[in-house]
């Protein structure tokens, strides 16, 4: 099939309010990158085993086949409803993108685990767009959806985690810590048409020093050819400094390298990346 080889912007949506803004950001990115959008919805299924209430504990003639049949019937009904819902969501999303001027939109409706499906489909994606929270966590502000977190960790592609409302990005804030992930972000995106023409603020949450300054200057040089660049060095904790800078920059999009630390360290002290996505009230583009 032809579309396998083609690069896409992969936008993952569910029934939450984020679907609209995911489509809007995907449309924005697709137009800038001149790529088609692939709109993905994964059918979420309620577990039929837990849906039953039968504690009788009696097993009689043909219990295995009867139980199997009953579980299949339960899943079947709920799946059908979910599939219908998914179709509506995908259709609405496709319409939104077409209205926004993206001509090449394909929709993809899959069964399976959300994270697994996204990882499977992102092979051809140059960018993955996803909402900050899904249906499970839709109304817990300040939290990060657990699925989103797993996607960000599992994905090998740049992931754009978007806010509930679409604001066209006018400026880029680049959180730079000279980590390998941040360097990759720099390499990959400094000349990307995604940010073409947008002014960039490079922020380093470090205390002033010659070595750090050189790193910052290098980053600045990388962007300088295509962008108007400001640099900033602030000796605070990244989790505080960067959200502040983002907040004071109107219509900003945050760009950062993701998950530089070891799994052990992340488990003990938590992750800067996760904290950042949670606190920043702007779309965040993560590069691994």
Partner 1 sequence: MTKIETIKREWLSNPRGDILAGIVVALALIPEAIGFSIIAGVDPRVGLYASFSIAVIVSLVGGRPGMISAATAAIAVLILPLVRDHGVEYLFAATILMGVIQVLAGFLRLNLLMQYVSRSVITGFVNALAILIFMAQLPELTGVPMLTYALVAGGLAIIYLFPYLTRAVPSPLVTIIVLTALVYYTGFDVRSVGDMGELPTSLPMWLIPDVPFTVETFQIILPFSVTMAAVGLLESMMTAQIVDDLTDTPSDKQREMKGQGIANFFTGFLGGMGGCAMIGQSVINVKSGGLTRLSTFVSGTFLLFLLLVLGELVAIIPMAALVAVMIMVSIGTFSWKSIKDLRFNPWQSSVVMVATVVITVWTHDLAQGVLAGVVLSGLFFASKVKRLFTVESELSADGATRTYRIGGQVFFASSDSFVEAFDFKEVLDRVVIDVSNAQFWDISAVGTLDKAILKFRREGTAVELVGLNETSAALIERYATHDKPGADAQLGAH
Q: Tell the smallest beta-carbon distance from residue 140 to partner 1 (Å).
A: 17
Rounded to the nearest 5 degrees, what angle is found at the Cα of 127, between the Cα atoms of 126 and 132? 165
As measured in angstroms, the least distance from the Cβ of 45 to partner 1 is: 9
Min. distance of Cβ 116 from partner 1 in angstroms? 11
Q: Which is nearer to partner 1, 44 or 107 (CB)?
A: 44
Distance CA 58, CA 269 (A): 48
Residue 75 or 192 having the CB closest to partner 1: 75
131-153 burial, b at 16+ Cβ within 10 Å, e below that, comes to bbbbbebbeeeeebbebbbbbbb
Q: CB–CB of 174/145 below 8 Å?
A: no
Q: How far apart are CA 33 and CA 31, in angstroms?
A: 6
Tokens of 233: 């060095």
Q: Quote the tokens at residue 243.
A: 């959200």
Minimum CB–partner distance for residue 193 and partner 1 (Å):
33
Q: Is the Cβ of residue 4 or residue 64 nearer to partner 1 in the bound state?
A: 64
Task: Return the number of the residue (59 or 235) whose C-beta is nearest partner 1.
Answer: 59
State the nearest-atom distance from the C-beta of 53 to partner 1, in Å: 7
Q: Which is nearer to partner 1, 38 or 122 (CB)?
A: 122
Binding residues (CB under 8 A) for partner 1: these are 47, 49-50, 52-65, 67-68, 71, 75, 146, 150, 153-154, 263, 266-267
């Amino acid at each position: 099939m032809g579309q396998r080889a083609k690069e896409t912007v992969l936008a993952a949506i569910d029934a939450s309010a984020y679907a609209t803004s995911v489509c809007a950001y995907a449309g924005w990115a697709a137009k800038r990158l001149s790529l088609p959008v692939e709109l993905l919805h994964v059918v979420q299924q309620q577990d039929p085993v837990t849906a039953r209430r039968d504690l009788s504990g009696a097993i009689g003639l043909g219990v295995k086949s009867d139980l199997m049949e009953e579980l299949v019937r339960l899943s079947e009904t709920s799946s059908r409803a979910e599939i219908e819902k998914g179709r509506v969501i995908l259709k609405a999303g496709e319409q939104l993108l077409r209205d926004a001027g993206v001509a090449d939109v394909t929709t993809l409706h899959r069964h399976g685990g959300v994270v697994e499906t996204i990882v499977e489909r992102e092979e051809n994606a140059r960018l993955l767009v996803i909402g900050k929270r899904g249906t499970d966590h839709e109304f817990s502000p300040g939290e990060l959806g657990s699925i989103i977190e797993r996607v960000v960790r599992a994905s090998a592609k740049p992931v754009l985690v978007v806010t509930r409302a679409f604001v066209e990005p006018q400026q880029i804030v680049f959180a730079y810590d000279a980590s390998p992930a941040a360097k990759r972000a720099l390499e990959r995106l400094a000349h990307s048409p995604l940010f073409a023409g947008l002014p960039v603020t490079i922020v380093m949450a470090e205390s002033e020093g010659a070595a750090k300054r050189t790193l910052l200057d290098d980053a600045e040089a990388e962007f300088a050819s295509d962008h108007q660049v400001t640099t900033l060095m602030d000796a605070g904790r990244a989790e505080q400094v960067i959200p502040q800078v983002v907040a004071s920059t109107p219509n900003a999009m945050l760009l950062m390298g993701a998950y530089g630390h070891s799994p052990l360290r992340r488990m003990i002290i938590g992750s800067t990346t996760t904290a950042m996505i949670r606190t920043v009230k702007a779309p965040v583009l993560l590069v691994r």
